[in-house]
Structure 1
Amino acid sequence: MALDEVGTVPWTIKGELILNCNCTVFCPCVVSLGKHPPTEGHCQAWSGIRIDEGQYGDADLSGLNVGLFLEIPGNMGRGNWKAAAFIDDRASEEAYAGLVNIFSGAARGSTGLFGMLVGEFLGAEREQVVFETEGNERRLMVGKKIQGAVVPVEGKDGKDIVVTNTEYWMGPDITVAQATKGRVRAFGRVWDFEGRSAEICQIDWKGPR
């Protein structure tokens, strides 16, 4: 693909996203849209995306998984993020290239803000990325680099607590969750966010507009 085509290729991703960060209570970024600082003053997070249906140009993304590494020095909206992507090793060369473009922000559209907010894209790596659901627990395993699991927080009558109708970049409805496991060993970082804030979101992303 010619470089001048990046940012013009139509793409879509439908599926589910999970995220676990170092916030001690539910992530304030969801409702403040990044205007409120993380509870610890900075954000460290891992995320997993299960793609149920997706395409990048002619490349089929359906059935693939992606892991993300995120480090944000302060308020989310102020940028200077560090980010990396772990791409499912089952992806074709075309799908791999498309997913790198999407998660670096180069493909524009729903994830285009990455291009503005990420000051240092640490790169993309092929990895075995496993996204499993058992009962209400979602698990992400990225080789030996990320071992994570999240569960929804129960509200009244045992139903999930959901923050609805937001303008959050991931999607309007965010299920409040908590990590039952949150270990990261990547890029010289060693994190463990078990028991801390997590999110579950049904995603319907597209680009380049």
Structure 2
Amino acid sequence: MSETTATVPRWHAAGDWFDTCKCDVPCPCSFAQLPTHGDCDGILAWHIREGRYGDVGLDGLNVLMLASFVGNIWAEHTDTYAAVFVDERADEPQREALQMIFGGQAGGWPAEMVTMMAGEMRGMEFAPIEIEVADDLASWRAVVPGRVEASAAALTGPTTPEGARVQSTNLPGAETGPGQVATWGRSTVDRADAHGFLWSREGRSSKHITFDWTGPD
């Protein structure tokens, strides 16, 4: 892709993001701190509720990433690796748009994250991606059949009112950028076997955060 931000059309993408990772609840990375174990790996999923890249509509499409790193992702870190799955339902213009946005070439918040992570890509492929987010944020789930599965239930406890959500605003390390609300959860499934990433666990940190991005500036 030879396109640069100088020729990128105006674009907008908004929707749901969530992760499951190896950190204890709550994940310190969202507070711009060292991960629980000094390193972290996990599953990151995006569902675009509303999106447009120039004249190309992106509504309803999904992207999923596997990632790992050592250290504080917002400060000094090393050994950053990633692999990306792009929704196979996307047609050719949509695939190009998603790769431009999530690859950081279309500017906006994703470009800042790509620059900060400075990671090595282990692979990118088009695949079926199933993403479900409950309307009341009681749970969220993402699946690449046979490769990746992440699901979580909203965090609760003895003093949490029934139906209420444990949430944070103004996170120091919000993965989707400033101005969004995080809803905390605990993973019920966190499993990956793809592109050199391999783990299977449950009961660790998870969070849902909305995203609302524009570009190319």
Same fold (TM over 0.5): yes
Query: For 1:12, what is the secondary structure of its paired residue?
Result: strand
Shift of 1:199: 0.6
Contact 1:103–1:111, Cα closer than 8 Å, also in 2: yes
> Quick check: 2:123–2:195 contact (8 Å CA) kept in 1?
no
Residue 207 (str. 1) matches residue 215 (str. 2)? yes
1:145 CA drift (Å): 1.3
Q: Which runs of 4+ in 1 moved over 6 A?
A: none
How many angstroms does 1:129 deviate by? Answer: 0.3
By how many angstroms is 1:5 displaced? 5.1
2:123 corresponding residue in structure 1: 123
User: How much identity, in percent, do the aligned residues show?
Assistant: 31
**Runs of at least 5 residues in structure 2 that lack an aligned partner in the other structure:** none
Which string of whole-angstrom CA distances, capped at 9 and with x for unpartnered residues, describes residues 19-70 of structure 1? 0011022111212x3xx21001111010111111111222111011111111
Which residue does 2:154 correspond to in 1?
A: 152
Per-residue CA shift, 1:62-101, capped at 9, x if unaligned?
A: 0111111111122112354212211111001111111112
- Residue 171 (structure 2) pairs with residue 166 (structure 1): yes
SS at match of 2:119: strand
Match in the other structure for 2:4: 4
1:70 — aligned with what? 67
2:99 corresponds in structure 1 to: 100
Alignment TM-score, normalising by the size of structure 1: 0.90
Structure 1 unaligned segments of length 5 or more: list them.
none
Cα deviation code 1:138-197 (max 9, x no counterpart): 111112111111111025212110011235241431111111111111112211231100
Matched-pair contact (CA < 8 Å) for 1:68–1:86: yes
Question: The residue matched to 2:161 in structure 1 has which SS?
Answer: helix
Query: Which structure shows the bigger proportion of residues in helix conformation?
Result: 1
Q: Label 1:7 to 1:66 Cα distance change in 2 as closer, same or farther (>3 A).
A: farther
Superposition RMSD in Å: 1.9
Q: What SS does structure 1 have at the residue aligned with 2:23? A: coil
1:82-130 deviations in Å (ceiling 9; x for gaps): 1221111100111111111222222220111233123212332100000
Tell me how far apart the structure 2 counterparts of residues 51 and 28 of structure 1 sit (CA, whole Å).
Answer: 26
Counterpart Cα distance in 1 of 2:6 and 2:58: 17
